[in-house]
Structure 1
Amino acid sequence: MSINRPVLKYNGGKFLLAPWITSFFPEHDTFVDGFGGAANVLLRKPRSRAEYYFDLDREVTNFMQVLGRKETAIELIRRIRWTPYAREVFEMSVSNPLEDPIDRALQFCAKCWMNMGQNRSSSGSFRTHGNLDKSGGYIPARLWTDLSPYYQAATRLRGVVIENRSFLEVASGLDRPNTLFFLDPPYLGSVRGSGDLYTHEMKLAIEHENLLNLILSLNGMVIICGYPSDLYATKLESQGWRMVTKPTRDNKRRERIEALWLNPLVQRKLAERDREPGRSRILTQDEIDSLLWYG
Structure 2
Amino acid sequence: MNSPIKWMGGKFRLRNRILEMLPQDHLCFVEVFGGAGWVLFAKSLSKIEVLNDVNGELINFFKVVRDKTQDFIRAFEYLLVSRQIFEEYKRANPQELDDIERAVRFYYLVHFSFGARMQSFIISPTGVRLVLKTLEQEIKQTRERLLNTIIENRDFEKLILSYDRPSTLFYCDPPYYGLTGYSSQGSRVFTVEDHIRLRDVLSRLQGRYLLSINDHPDIRELYNGFNIEEVSLRYSVSRKDKSTLKKELLISNYYNSNIANSQIAA
TM-score between the two structures when normalised by the length of structure 1: 0.78
Retained in 2: the 8 A contact 1:185–1:202?
no
Matched, 1:219 2:206: yes
CA distance in 1, matches of 2:236, 2:70: 33
What are the superposed Cα offsets for residues 94-139 of structure 1, whole Å, 9 maximum, x if unpaired? Answer: 112452111110110000011133324xxx12114xx17xxxxxx4
Of the three residues 153, 173, 178, the one matched with 2:162 is 173
CA spacing shift, 1:41–1:195, aligned 2, 3 Å = closer
What are the superposed Cα offsets for residues 15-45 of structure 1, whole Å, 9 maximum, x if unpaired? Answer: 2322221111101210111111111211111
> Cα RMSD over matched residues?
2.8
Retained in 2: the 8 A contact 1:73–1:154?
yes
SS at match of 1:117: helix
Matched, 1:75 2:71: yes
CA spacing shift, 1:241–1:30, aligned 2, 3 Å = same
Retained in 2: the 8 A contact 1:202–1:208?
no
- Structure 1 residue 264 displacement after superposition: 2.8
Matched, 1:126 2:121: yes
CA spacing shift, 1:102–1:248, aligned 2, 3 Å = farther
SS at match of 1:222: strand
- Counterpart of 2:221? 234
Matched, 1:187 2:171: no
- Counterpart of 2:61? 63
Retained in 2: the 8 A contact 1:11–1:197?
no
SS at match of 2:147: coil
CA spacing shift, 1:176–1:31, aligned 2, 3 Å = same
SS at match of 2:79: coil
CA spacing shift, 1:94–1:284, aligned 2, 3 Å = closer
Matched, 1:90 2:86: yes
Retained in 1: the 8 A contact 2:164–2:206?
yes
- Structure 1 residue 208 displacement after superposition: 0.9
- Counterpart of 2:260? 285
- Counterpart of 1:142? 129
The structure with the greater share of residues assigned to strand is: 2
SS at match of 2:230: strand
- Structure 1 residue 255 displacement after superposition: 4.0
- Counterpart of 2:252? 263
SS at match of 2:209: strand
Aligned amino acid, residue 241 of structure 1: N
Aligned amino acid, residue 72 of structure 2: L
- Structure 1 residue 175 displacement after superposition: 0.8
- Structure 1 residue 48 displacement after superposition: 0.5
- Counterpart of 2:151? 162
Matched, 1:20 2:17: yes
Retained in 2: the 8 A contact 1:29–1:50?
yes
Structure 1 stretch 240-249 or stretch 108-117: which is displaced more?
A: 240-249
CA distance in 1, matches of 2:92, 2:184: 21
CA distance in 1, matches of 2:142, 2:182: 30
Aligned amino acid, residue 214 of structure 1: V
- Counterpart of 1:244? 230
CA spacing shift, 1:153–1:262, aligned 2, 3 Å = same
CA spacing shift, 1:22–1:283, aligned 2, 3 Å = closer
Aligned amino acid, residue 89 of structure 1: I
SS at match of 2:116: coil
- Counterpart of 1:279? none
Retained in 2: the 8 A contact 1:52–1:162?
yes
SS at match of 1:243: strand
CA spacing shift, 1:57–1:203, aligned 2, 3 Å = closer
- Structure 1 residue 157 displacement after superposition: 0.4
- Structure 1 residue 257 displacement after superposition: 2.2
CA spacing shift, 1:284–1:93, aligned 2, 3 Å = closer
CA distance in 1, matches of 2:181, 2:61: 27
Retained in 2: the 8 A contact 1:67–1:76?
yes
Paired residues, what number?
A: 257
